[in-house]
Amino acid sequence: MDLLPSDDQTQIVDTIKSFLAGEAPVDRLREHGAIGNPDAALWPKLGELGFLGLGLAEELGGIGLSASEEMLVFREFGYHLVSIGIFGIVLGARVAAVAGDDALRDELLTGARRVGIANPRGAAAGPGPDAQDYHLFEAADASLVLLVDEQGAGLLAREDFVDIESVHSTDSVLTLERARLAADKPRLWVARSADNIHSRALMLLGAYAVGLGEGARDMAVDYAKIREQFGKPIGAFQAIKHICADMAMRSEAALCQASFASLVMADGLPDTDFHAVASKIVATEVAMKNAAANIQVHGAFGFTSEANAHHYLKRAHVADLLWGSLREQRERILTFPTPA
């Protein structure tokens, strides 16, 4: 038993870290402007480095690593506020691979195609894809749209949606549209029994939220070390120090649970669903709390769009509402049997 990354895993983490530090510094969101983000340019590069098919079995055209490596990489995606379109591509490629569309799979793994994400707008999503109201994330320039629910995961064409209407996104660097699903069924569909993509999505979203919380934590801590008031760095005051300590404690809890959840999934253990949901609950809560605390530590500056603090908060809310909010996940976690 060892929850720490192995040497090989650390190497993977170092690779993606240095890639994102160079190609996707968080400041890109401020420089790019209010709407949309430049992250689609990252997909082909990530494809070339093998990060899009990292957790996909070799016989399915992937790199053949486990859920744990995927978890570690999605944590870094969250840390750098990479567009949630990354979920569309990575999980979309998995749908294509398991459904047997090898051509599409290979195309997606190169990062040449964008895949948006459909998320039900209703409070309670019905079972399976249905003609109802959805939000489409990062789908404006995407020909494909990923849909994930408790029954399975599927890929739809953008044309499968009607009444598409662009709306202002709360997280303004993500494109957001309203749409109604018109297709009877997705172009490709993978039932839960064939591959539990739903739990993988929740687990990876938990990992992404871990990264969001850590990004906010580090931003707050860095600022607390340099911002001076009353003649010393504000981080010397316990009022600020303890806020930062709380952020670190919460991040540790979320990281440990994300690691554990990924291992349970990698081993195919019966508590896979439980731990994926637990990870999403813990990590999205942490992401939202740390984002709020980061704004507070930055004072008035944190309230402006000149600071990056607001991006963590808004993305944390996206992570919470994607594939079932905290409220829905809490209802769900009580339905599982006692975990081992």
Partner 1 sequence: MNLDFTAEDKIFREEARDWLQANVFKERRPHGGEAMRAYDLAWQKCQYDAGWAGVSWPKEYGGMGLDLTRQLIWYEEYARAHAPDNHLCFVGLNHGGPTLIARGDEAQKRTHLRPILAGEKIWCQGFSEPNAGSDLGALRTRAVIDGDELVITGSKIWTSHGHLSDMQELLVRTDPDAPKHKGISWVIFDMKTPGLELRPIEIMTAPNHTHFVQCFYDEARVPLANVVGGLNNGWSVAMSTLGFERGTAQIKDQIRYAFLVEQMIERARARYGSEYITHDELGSRLAQLRADMAAARAMTYMVVSRAQHDIGGSLASLMRAMVGDVQQRVRRLAFDIIGADALENPEDDDWVYFYLRSYAQTIAAGTSQIQRNIIGERVLGLPR
Note the residues at the interface with partner 1 (CB under 8 A): 1-6, 9, 68, 221, 224-225, 232-233, 235-236, 238, 240-242, 244-246, 248-250, 252-257, 259-260, 262-264, 267, 269, 274-275, 277-279, 281-282, 285, 327, 329-331, 333-335, 338-339
Whether the Cβ atoms of residue 207 and residue 213 lie closer than 8 Å to each other: no
User: In this complex, which beta carbon is closest to partner 1, that of residue 57 or of residue 236?
Assistant: 236
Please report how close the Cβ of residue 69 comes to partner 1 at its closest, in angstroms. 9
Please report how close the Cβ of residue 193 comes to partner 1 at its closest, in angstroms. 24
Tokens 């290979």 belong to residue: 106
Residue 291 to residue 282: CA distance in whole angstroms: 14
Tokens 């731990």 belong to residue: 275
User: In this complex, which beta carbon is closest to partner 1, that of residue 1 or of residue 103?
Assistant: 1
User: In this complex, which beta carbon is closest to partner 1, that of residue 196 or of residue 257?
Assistant: 257
User: In this complex, which beta carbon is closest to partner 1, that of residue 122 or of residue 339?
Assistant: 339
Please report how close the Cβ of residue 1 comes to partner 1 at its closest, in angstroms. 6
The DSSP secondary-structure symbol of 135 reads E
Please report how close the Cβ of residue 213 comes to partner 1 at its closest, in angstroms. 12
Please report how close the Cβ of residue 184 comes to partner 1 at its closest, in angstroms. 32
Please report how close the Cβ of residue 235 comes to partner 1 at its closest, in angstroms. 4
Whether the Cβ atoms of residue 287 and residue 212 lie closer than 8 Å to each other: yes
By CB atoms closer than 10 A (0-12, 13-18, 19+), residue 165 is exposed
User: In this complex, which beta carbon is closest to partner 1, that of residue 37 or of residue 257?
Assistant: 257
Residue 165 to residue 171: CA distance in whole angstroms: 17
Q: What are phi and psi of 153, to 5 degrees?
A: -145, 145
The DSSP bridge pattern shows strands 152-157 and 161-167 to be unpaired
Neighbours of 124 (CB within 10 A): 8
User: In this complex, which beta carbon is closest to partner 1, that of residue 236 or of residue 292?
Assistant: 236
Whether the Cβ atoms of residue 54 and residue 63 lie closer than 8 Å to each other: yes
